[in-house]
Structure 1
Amino acid sequence: MTYTVNCSILLTELPLLERPAAAKAAGFDAVEFWWPFTASVPADAELTRFEQAITDAGVQLTGLNFNAGDMPGGDRGLVSWMGRSSEFKDNIDVVAGIGGRLGCRSFNALYGNRQDGQTPEAQDELAVQNLAAAAEGVARIGGTVLLEPVSGAPRYPLLTAEDAVRVISRVKEQTGAANIKLLADFYHLSVNGDDVAAVIEKHAKDFGHIQIADNPGRGAPGTGELPLGEWIARSRQLGYEGHIGLEYKAPAETAFAWAIRQRIAQ
């Protein structure tokens, strides 16, 4: 199984730049991150330190989020955020630059929460334009923009796979952008009440990325009740060939115990 460790939610006992090496030490060759900076356009020195931490660790960066705002404060993306479009577009070149230098080709663009004083229609139209710009920006390095339904954010409008697929279809119809795909986070979809098995049957061959956590608790595989192994296996059977993102919460000392057991069993 080809896993990639999300170093923004796992190994958080360590400083951010030490986490790629810790993932490597735990037996993984790939990592992914939410946006690891406070600004859409960080200083060159910050970029260099981040990229060096990944290359020095000997891991592959497989996924990176666009700047999503203040995630701990409740923000969930800039794509549909009226008033921050120029900031999002400035971020596109930075994201594509990191991807080009590190060989990363998958970039998650969180849609953004609904805003007071703005109509959903206006926000959705802005999102079309911003997603098209992001798709064009990463296309030059062979990149794909990912669009993700999420849970736990009451004002985030994309809750199910079909919510995201409708946006992807609209962007393609209005702008021709073809390199936007669904990020299927099985935890988020399940918590939101989506029929994950049906989503897999309908969309697995077109998934841009899969992420997993168990439920309840958003813990490691095997700590909850979700049939993650079955869902992954079926996605593979139906044509998904990408990494499986490990995006769950667990203490560093036990975070990968399930994976060690899996390796022994094999």
Structure 2
Amino acid sequence: MTGPFRDLTVNCSIMLADLPLLERPAAAAAAGFSAVEFWWPFESPVPGDREVDAFLTAVSDAGVRLTGLNFYAGNMPDGERGVLSSPSRSAAFRSSLETTAGIAERTGCRGFNALYGLPEENTVPAARADCAVENLAAAADAVSSLGGTVLLEPLSGVPGYPLRTAADCFAVLERVHGTGRQNLALLADFYHLAVNGEDVPALIAGHAASFGHIQLADAPGRGAPGTGGLPLARWTASAIAAGYRGLISLEYLSPSAEAFTWLEPYRAAAE
């Protein structure tokens, strides 16, 4: 495929959601994709070997590459959005790093998204910030020898989530970089950034070459490109022109039957 959507990966935790999780890599392959990514695909921070093997087998049998994985982020269905900044959850987060590194070693996955977490009760902001930096440093160490990059992103639609802008993330990343770890970068999710009021073109112009990853959904609604008003094709083309060399992740809400119809003109142009 040519143009701004030539290097795509499908987030199988939010896409193809009408299928069982382990059937989604094969569905992505059947739709013409060769790369997938996931949020943390296990219920616990330390899943059993059989659970990990079943996940890895689903990916390998589908013939796709695993290009991205979230670190353990707590109970997402119950509203948790990461545990990096939660002192009481640090042990759980650290316990998951061996599994993450093992998956990286077995798959070649190199992008790892770390969700910051909502403010933990009875803790002060400085303690939460220090905890996040310490856990990010540990995460960076866990994947550094494998060529892995830790990603940090702003989120929208989650009241109280501390990281809402690129500047919020850059401030945290700067602290971790100051510890000597350099394998951390911004995950530029254009949907979250736009919904939160970010000047996305200015961000692209100033920082695209150092983006760790890009994710796409349209707004409003977090639907497929073209269902809202965001100029996603223009933004991705601008990011590539400004030096971004990574994959573009599809991470939006859509029924599977029509999830990728918007791509047909781009695919036709490549034939």
Q: Would you say 1:259 and 2:236 are equivalent positions?
A: no
Candidates 27, 45, 50, aligned match of 1:45: 50
2:130 counterpart SS class: helix
Match of 1:35 in 2: 40
Candidates 245, 252, 261, aligned match of 1:248: 252
TM-superposed deviation, 1:265 = 3.2
Match of 1:162 in 2: 167
Candidates 199, 204, 209, aligned match of 2:208: 204
Compute the TM-score of the two structures, normalised by the length of structure 2: 0.96
Match of 2:119 in 1: 114
TM-superposed deviation, 1:138 = 0.4
1:121-142, CA deviations, whole angstroms, 9 ceiling, x for partnerless residues?
1000011100000000000211
Q: Would you say 1:179 and 2:183 are equivalent positions?
A: yes
1:16-64, CA deviations, whole angstroms, 9 ceiling, x for partnerless residues?
0000000000000000000000001100000000000000000000000
Match of 1:26 in 2: 31
Gaps of 5+ in 1: none
TM-superposed deviation, 1:202 = 1.1
Q: Would you say 1:128 and 2:138 are equivalent positions?
A: no
- Once the two structures are superposed, the pairs formed by residues 139-154 of structure 1 within 5 Å of their partners are 139-154=144-159
Candidates 224, 235, 242, aligned match of 2:228: 224
Rounded Cα–Cα distance in structure 1 between residues aligned with 2:202 and 2:76: 30
Match of 1:95 in 2: 100
TM-superposed deviation, 1:82 = 1.7
TM-superposed deviation, 1:116 = 2.0
Match of 1:2 in 2: 7
Gaps of 5+ in 2: 1-5
* Aligned-residue CA RMSD (Å): 0.7
TM-superposed deviation, 1:101 = 0.2
Rounded Cα–Cα distance in structure 2 between residues aligned with 1:90 and 1:202: 36
Give % identity.
Answer: 58
Rounded Cα–Cα distance in structure 2 between residues aligned with 1:248 and 1:7: 10
TM-superposed deviation, 1:99 = 0.9
Rounded Cα–Cα distance in structure 2 between residues aligned with 1:60 and 1:170: 32
1:45-94, CA deviations, whole angstroms, 9 ceiling, x for partnerless residues?
00000000000000000000001111121111011012011111111111
Q: Report the AA paired with residue 20 of structure 1.
A: P
Rounded Cα–Cα distance in structure 1 between residues aligned with 2:190 and 2:114: 17
* Paired residue total: 265
Rounded Cα–Cα distance in structure 2 between residues aligned with 1:25 and 1:250: 17
Rounded Cα–Cα distance in structure 1 between residues aligned with 2:205 and 2:172: 20
